[in-house]
Homo-oligomer: A and B are copies of this chain.
Amino acid sequence: MVVRGDVYDRNCPTRVIANHATGQWGSLVLGKLLDDGGGTKRFSELRREVSGISEKMLAQTLQALERDGLVHREVHPVIPPRVDYSLTALGTHAAKQISELFGWIEENLPSFMAAQDEYDARRAEKV
Contacts and interface: CB of A to CB of B under 8 A. Distances in A.
Given A8-B32, A69-B112, 15 more contacts: A2-B106, A5-B109, A6-B106, A7-B28, A8-B50, A11-B52, A13-B112, A14-B105, A14-B109, A19-B24, A23-B23, A67-B120, A90-B115, A94-B101, A94-B105
Protomer copies: 2
A93 B97 contact: no
A112 B7 contact: no
Nearest to A99: B7
Interface string A18-29: 110111100110
Counting chain A residues whose Cβ lies within 8 A of the other chain, the interface size class is 35 or more
Contact of A7 (B17, B66, B94, B106): B106
